[in-house]
Structure 1
Amino acid sequence: MMHPATYLNKVLFASTQGAFQLWNLRTGKMVHAFKGWNSCINVVEQAPAVDVVAFGLKDGRIILHNIKLDETIMTFTQETLTASFGVSGAEVTALSFRTDGKAAIMASGSPDGHIALWDLEERKLQSEIRFAHDGPVVGLEFQQGEPLLLSNSSDNTLKQWIFDMGADGGRQLRVREGHSEPPCRVFFYGENGEEILTAGRDSSVRVFATFKADGTFKNLGKAVYNKKSYKKVKRKDRQGDAGEGSDKANDYMRKIMPPIAQMAGVMTRTKEWADIVACHENCPLVTTWSYYKTRMGDLKLLHDRFKHDPKLKKIAATTRSSNSEESRIFCWSLGISMRGSDCNVKFWRFKTCQYGVSAVMPAPVSFMRVHRDSGLLGIALDDFSVRVVDLDDRNPKTIGRPVRRLEGRHSAVITDMTFSPDARWLLTASADSTVLVWDLVTGLAMDWFKVPHICTSMSFSPSGEFLATSHSGCLGVYLWVNKTIYVPSSGARSLPVDYKPRMLPLPGATIEKTGEGETEEEEEEIEKTEVFVSPEQISNDLVTLALLPESKWANLLNLDVIKARNKPKEPPKVPKSAPFFLPTVAGLTPQFDLSAEKEHEEGGDAERSRLLRMTEARHLSEFAKLVHRKLMEVMKQYGPSKIDVEVRSLAPANGGDVELMMNFLKSIFLSFEECKNFEAAQAYLGIFLKIHWDEIPEHSEVADFLPELLEKQRWSWKKLSCKITDALCLANFLDNVVL
């Protein structure tokens, strides 16, 4: 289906029978029916020329057709380029036209991964990008007005090609790729959890960035038995001289090792040696990988007993660095413990290499996961339950005894599980497409949800912020965010017995709506948490600050200095302007009327004496009226200049009285007594004493109250200084203590 350029409300529909039709979507009627070419039409692409459309057919033909005149302009045939893996490459899978004006080029894709470039002026094949992808090319798109081509393939790769080499074709500029088959193992690499290490069913190992926009994307390559022979076979296949397609396919696949079953790694001396190990399905070889060199290591580990004992087929590998970071231990069969079909778990001692004790489980063991920091071992059983064992238990009678039994929720075999970094949670995934979050403190299920595809592997980030999962049939790695980090939690809560898991979409995906009957109850439930409001005073034993900006109280005592510094040296003078028509007084001799100017001068004298008249009237401001109520709350809203003016108005000479001064001091006294607004009360008391220090001796009531206020201020400061000293001592102890 395609919308032809300049064709309003028209859409072109192509069929697998080879015919195509032009329809008017507005009227719902067919405009014209074209006969076609008796071959399935795979691709329909608009050409730069108006009325010209390119058709890519299944039989390899590329036809440029004028839909206005119903005439074929030119035809190309994409012949079989190679018989890789016995698949014909003649079929056209993608088309695109170059639009930068430098060359009339059309690009076509094939199932073999080749990209052919056709010269429309010469009507011939110009060049070819062989093996541009390892799988069929499913999409091609030239960037508008640029010599850039974007291609993608079913091998989960996206590549950008630039054409700056003339007629020699394009070269690869950028590439973004993932696993060509679903990942089977994921885990966070490093201490910060910024990168995820993944292993896929295609036997390849890749590294993906967690959340960086320009993060790291590395391809460590595929696991092969012999690198030289693998490269030789691959080179012959690309040259097209390796014999029949089926023989080449078998020879090619025999060089690749089976998919990776387990993988582990640590960041220790990554530049000197391989820091990642992996074991493969039904293969006794343990392969090594180098993160720093981004390739498969040269060493392959195989114990002698696996060469002679045919029973030892399935192994699991783990890696662990010593404290000195000078050596590393690779273990087969989970070195710390061994499992068998007889429901026994045996514990061995590393130092003595001797058998310790064994624990009997109620069902055969499926797999085990260990949390190194806490010493907890999670054991998944075939009866869909989990047992948690404490490996740090030194009591011979209780070692190996489960400390938690997690059961009763899953209805299918457990596929994977992972511990949270603090070992408080254990997450389990099951073949019934559900994921459970267990609280190991209480042994109860905290959360239970269902996903569209079975979770095959999961890993918690070291910071506890992300959960990485891989799913069957999905090529991507999905990141989940730990909601408890951002949403306040009231504590652990358990699910009711009759709770049914809710369906959640995979991150980045959406659930299609089935109809108009959906309600808000069918969407994801959002926990309603009460917003905590801090009280005005948490405890009477504490001292509360006003938390005002420092600019509102720190410079109150220096306000006169600031005003003097900011005062202009000379006030601006406005020139006296005379009116255009001067008023005159009627009479024999013309005289100017200057009465308005005299009134203005008298008004100026009255304006200058307004403060005196206000003082004589003993007018009370709004601030003075609020002194008896919420003085501190009102003053906290004022700026420094406003506070200075209002404190000055408390004096009898400025319109106040002794009673207002006493009420102000009592409000400061109450703040010290209640241990509230400490820094603001100190600043307000300082500006009061600075302004009225010469008037206080004249009023005995105010003078007699000051010693009592001083005693209360010292008591409040002593209480605060003790709290500060205790906090500093505790912080200094925690900073220097060795845990």
Structure 2
Amino acid sequence: MAGGGGSCLFSGFRILGLYCNHVPHVLRYHRKHREFYLVTSVGKCLHTYNVNRLGIVAVSNSLQDDITCLAADRMLTFAAAGSLVYAFAKNKEVVMCYRGHKHEVRLLLPFGDQLISADGSGLVIVWDVHRGDVYVELNFDPTTFDVSAMMHPSTYLNKVLLGSSQGALQLWNLKTSKLLYTFAGWSAGVTVLQQSPAVDVVGVGMATGRIIIHNIRVDETLMSFMQDWGPITSLAFRTDGPPTLAAGSPQGHVALWDLERQQLAAQLRHAHKTAVNASFLHNEPLLITSAGDNAIKVWILDQEGGGARLLRNRQGHSAPPTTICHHGNDGKNILSAGQDGTLQSFSTVHERFHKNLGHGSISKKKEQKKKKGLSYEELRLPAITAFSCATARQSDWDGIVACHRGRLATTTWNYQRCTMGAHHLRPPGSGSNAVAAAVDITSCGNFAIVGSSCGRVDIYNLQSGFHRGCYGDEHKAHRGAVRGVATDALNQLTFTTASDCLLKFWRFKTRKQEDQIKLSAAPATMKLHRDSGMLAVALDDFTLLIVDVETKRVVRKFAGHHGNTNDMTFSPDGRWLITAGMDCTIRTWDLPSGSLVDCFLISMTPVGVSMSPTGDFLATSHVDSLGICLWTNKSLCGPVGLRPLPADYQPEAETLPGGGALEAEQEVTEEEEGPDEAYSSAEQLGAELVTLSQLPESRWKHLLCLDTIKRRNKAVTPPVSGASAPFFLPTVPGLTPRFSLPQDETQSKVLSCSLPSQRSKFSCALEAGLDAGSFAVPVELLKSFGPSAVSVELAGLSPEGGGASSLFLAFIRMIDSMLASGRDFDLAHAYLSLFLKLHLRSLAQDAVAMEALVGLSSRLEAGWAELRASFNQSLCLLTYAKSALL
């Protein structure tokens, strides 16, 4: 039976702990933000980080193939994947695809409005960036001149310098497509070409480890250096003062050369584990390095003698993680042990909460004794094969216990201090050939149960690190290698399983065997859900057994995997068992119904799986993948129809997070550094909603209490006039300070009461709005007035105050229009209340105004009825939610 559409339960979200790979990074300076950005490649995607904090700011869309090289100019980021070259805008969207190469593109170089690309067949194409047309094509014979490096010399118009793996250099004029000059080289392949701060001077890195500082105008070598670490992988010139050259090597070392003294200034030993890509920030003493070990580091050159120290870094696993587990009950942190030997914690909230617990090492006493005779690698412990963590007592002592490859002793780790613990747990009197294989920490956090390949199961006290006993007679719990250990939630029972096909139940305190179950095949791994008491055992015959620890019986048996089960995890409620197998499938089994409810296929074999304690994310680790994949649980976002899947169900492939291909290609539409589109909020969202004015409450809330406020603020003693100021400018009363205009002395200061032109600006605007049918102007005038000014304006609407009866009708119409539009809801009610308080007697004698007030009253009642219904519905919903939580 054919499957349908991948997983119906999980959806790819993102990848944690993936920062960069072997592709050299590029630096960009954003003029608007005034900040440097670092662009790295992580397979098929681009990651963009700000250099100040090394925080990720953008993740690009995925390409169809892995990215082979990067380049960037002021507006766009260019990436080559296979034989295609893509242009990214805003570090995310692909806006142009350049097609013309038939072989894999190896080099990219932005060149003004052009882009230069070179592939492995010797074809060099100059593209028009915006139109995507081919500007110039150059063909080279790889047997005589294999292009291995490109550079545009500063101030050299339309010219590019090409380096070859044969050692020769050529200077070309791209506008005329002519070869201008050929440099003989230094009998070694050119790996890097880098422009120096000095005009005409370039740095040339060789495959033999030699560095040449050459003047290309006169074809003269100024100085040369030699490194013993293999080919030069990158060159970077410091531009903020001291003449320093940083050179990377394949072994992970960085050399800092003093160009003035022509000698080695400092070394950064073991800066990375693989070939280093280095670059200096312009006019800053900061060196950025990245490598294929999944690490980005920022070094500051402030040490004496030109040395550098690590300023900040982002570092994940340099080898694929094998074992993962959620740490804590909030589901925000994931512990991961990788083949590189490190134990790290990744946060699902933000990258600044990531932790690196470091690499395990031998005991400090032994290290102090043999440090002189042991190398850097010999002091390190092998990779972690299994670990267990508990948060109950992690503030008091170590809360993580780990087993290492090929070692019997287990190590403790402290999560809060981010270091390896003080204890090495080793059973007394054991053979040297035994290896610790399984470990579990009790729910109380006081004890650790460790199973070994010789059949021993030992118990240790985590506070002191002392051995507290072992299970079984003659110090043997099983006759075969222990494959899994677990303890229940109350420390009553201990469960062990081994290659002798037995699942044994032990009393935790007395360490006496209580019962056992004979398995049909040797177990591969075991997982206990403490809250429900369900124990899952994966067997070597690809079947799964679910054991109820209370009845000590097998209650469920699942078959469906076509390979060994690498890891298992339970959902927080214990309803689902999620398994990851060697057949590249992740299956979800429903325990109550005893059926398979979800299954999807992925491109890389999963080796680790962990479900969040909150049930929102599923974390998986994969072969040949340095990151941890997060999958969202769709059942938390909406209803998911789960149905039992048949035994012959064929799963469909599900795309890994961040691994999707592009659906369409677009054209260049805008510049990246263009002005950001400012969001403008709508004046009104809907006719059934109301919008407040957003004015301070002091502007409208106390309009009905102005008389009381004035009476309380009245001075007890009469004011005393002070000394007259020598000079002052008269101002107009109001919220906005304005100077009054000088009066004409010839004009009479006695105003004629018969002049109708003495009405206020608000009254005139009100009359004009009544005639035009729009009251936007008088509303804005009232909003600009203070409380006292509003009271004066409304008092002046009556005939006794200099107004007219028509102004009553105009004001009522204005309030009606405000309520009809739904805007300024609070101001409309405040102004109407003050208006009725001032002119209620006059309004009762005006028939036209009373008719308008009756219509306004019906609108007020209808509006409040809708709001009251919405308030009551929200309050009922809130009360129900609170009662459900209680």
Gaps of 5+ in 1: 81-88, 238-247, 518-544, 583-593, 682-715
The CA distance in 2 between the partners of 1:22 and 1:200, in whole Å, is 47
Q: Is the 8 A contact 1:615 1:654 kept in 2?
A: no
Matched, 1:4 2:155: no
1:418-444 deviations in Å (ceiling 9; x for gaps): 223333443322223333344545555
Q: Is the 8 A contact 1:449 1:502 kept in 2?
A: yes
The CA distance in 2 between the partners of 1:620 and 1:606, in whole Å, is 9
Q: CA deviation at 1:670?
A: 11
CA 1:53–1:438: 2 relative to 1, 3 Å: farther
- Structure 2 residue corresponding to 1:75, chosen from 224, 228, 252: 224
Q: Is the 8 A contact 1:206 1:221 kept in 2?
A: no
Structure having greater relative contact order (Cα 8 Å, sep ≥ 6): 2
Matches within 5 A, 1:352-391: 352-359=510-517, 363-391=521-549
Matched, 1:299 2:447: no
Q: Is the 8 A contact 1:21 1:33 kept in 2?
A: yes
- Structure 2 residue corresponding to 1:471, chosen from 608, 617, 622: 622
Matches within 5 A, 1:444-463: 447-463=598-614
Matched, 1:426 2:615: no
What is the one-letter code of the residue matched to 2:528? V
Q: CA deviation at 1:42?
A: 2.5
What is the one-letter code of the residue matched to 1:330? I
Residue in 2 that maps onto 1:640 = 829
Q: Is the 8 A contact 2:620 2:628 kept in 1?
A: yes
- Structure with higher Rg: it is 1
CA 1:557–1:599: 2 relative to 1, 3 Å: closer
1:473-515 deviations in Å (ceiling 9; x for gaps): 2233344444555xx4024434866664333233xx4445599
CA 1:314–1:734: 2 relative to 1, 3 Å: closer
The CA distance in 2 between the partners of 1:9 and 1:266, in whole Å, is 64
Q: Is the 8 A contact 2:189 2:207 kept in 1?
A: yes
1:110-146 deviations in Å (ceiling 9; x for gaps): 34443333232333x2333252436345122222222
Q: Is the 8 A contact 2:254 2:276 kept in 1?
A: no
Matched, 1:276 2:400: yes
What is the one-letter code of the residue matched to 2:216? I
Matched, 1:258 2:409: no
- Structure 2 residue corresponding to 1:98, chosen from 230, 238, 247: 238
Residue in 1 that maps onto 2:144 = none
- Structure 1 residue corresponding to 2:249, chosen from 110, 114, 119: 110
Matches within 5 A, 1:543-582: 560-561=704-705
Residue in 1 that maps onto 2:323 = 185
1:584-627 deviations in Å (ceiling 9; x for gaps): xxxxxxxxxx99966869999998399996799x999889999x
- Structure 1 residue corresponding to 2:189, chosen from 30, 40, 55: 40
The CA distance in 1 between the partners of 2:319 and 2:359, in whole Å, is 14
CA 1:445–1:25: 2 relative to 1, 3 Å: farther
Q: CA deviation at 1:293?
A: 4.3
Question: Bigger CA drift: 600-609 or 275-284?
Answer: 600-609
Q: CA deviation at 1:561?
A: 3.0
Residue in 2 that maps onto 1:400 = 553
Q: Is the 8 A contact 1:2 1:11 kept in 2?
A: yes
The CA distance in 1 between the partners of 2:753 and 2:705, in whole Å, is 40
Q: Is the 8 A contact 1:126 1:167 kept in 2?
A: no
Secondary structure, in 3 states, of the residue corresponding to 1:307?
coil
CA RMSD of aligned residues (A): 5.5
What is the one-letter code of the residue matched to 2:382? P
Residue in 1 that maps onto 2:505 = 347
CA 1:166–1:274: 2 relative to 1, 3 Å: closer
Q: Is the 8 A contact 2:597 2:645 kept in 1?
A: no
Q: How many aligned residue pairs are there? A: 613
The CA distance in 1 between the partners of 2:586 and 2:499, in whole Å, is 26
Q: CA deviation at 1:411?
A: 3.7
The CA distance in 2 between the partners of 1:374 and 1:320, in whole Å, is 16
What is the one-letter code of the residue matched to 1:464? G
CA 1:614–1:434: 2 relative to 1, 3 Å: same
Q: Is the 8 A contact 2:237 2:245 kept in 1?
A: yes
Q: CA deviation at 1:187?
A: 1.9
Secondary structure, in 3 states, of the residue corresponding to 2:431?
helix
CA 1:233–1:180: 2 relative to 1, 3 Å: farther
Q: What's the TM-score, normalizing by structure 1?
A: 0.66
Q: Is the 8 A contact 2:634 2:640 kept in 1?
A: no
Q: Is the 8 A contact 1:434 1:501 kept in 2?
A: no
Q: Is the 8 A contact 2:693 2:824 kept in 1?
A: no
Q: CA deviation at 1:640?
A: 1.2
What is the one-letter code of the residue matched to 1:203? G
Residue in 1 that maps onto 2:214 = 65
The CA distance in 2 between the partners of 1:478 and 1:680, in whole Å, is 43
Question: Bigger CA drift: 367-376 or 598-607?
Answer: 598-607
Q: Is the 8 A contact 1:615 1:655 kept in 2?
A: no
The CA distance in 2 between the partners of 1:385 and 1:649, in whole Å, is 91
Matches within 5 A, 1:305-704: 307=431, 313=435, 315-322=437-444, 327-332=446-451, 333-335=484-486, 336-341=494-499, 344-359=502-517, 363-391=521-549, 394=550, 396=551, 399-403=552-556, 405-408=557-560, 410-440=561-591, 442=593, 447-482=598-633, 484-485=635-636, 488-494=637-643, 500-506=651-657, 509-513=658-662, 560-561=704-705, 608=799, 639-641=828-830, 644=833, 653=845, 655=847, 678=868
Gaps of 5+ in 2: 1-148, 452-483, 487-493, 667-688, 715-731, 735-739, 765-795
Q: CA deviation at 1:367?
A: 1.0
The CA distance in 1 between the partners of 2:219 and 2:235, in whole Å, is 20
- Structure 2 residue corresponding to 1:205, chosen from 331, 337, 343: 343
The CA distance in 2 between the partners of 1:282 and 1:101, in whole Å, is 51
Residue in 1 that maps onto 2:277 = 139
Secondary structure, in 3 states, of the residue corresponding to 1:560?
helix
Q: Is the 8 A contact 1:112 1:131 kept in 2?
A: no
What is the one-letter code of the residue matched to 2:338? G
CA 1:96–1:550: 2 relative to 1, 3 Å: closer
Comparing both structures, which one devotes a greater share of its residues to helix? Answer: 1
CA 1:55–1:642: 2 relative to 1, 3 Å: same
What is the one-letter code of the residue matched to 1:317? V
The CA distance in 2 between the partners of 1:302 and 1:71, in whole Å, is 65
Q: CA deviation at 1:316?
A: 0.7
Q: CA deviation at 1:359?
A: 4.3
Q: CA deviation at 1:632?
A: 14
CA 1:172–1:642: 2 relative to 1, 3 Å: closer
Q: CA deviation at 1:166?
A: 3.8
Residue in 1 that maps onto 2:728 = none
Q: Is the 8 A contact 2:798 2:804 kept in 1?
A: no
Q: CA deviation at 1:334?
A: 0.5
Q: What's the TM-score, normalizing by structure 2?
A: 0.56
Q: CA deviation at 1:193?
A: 3.8
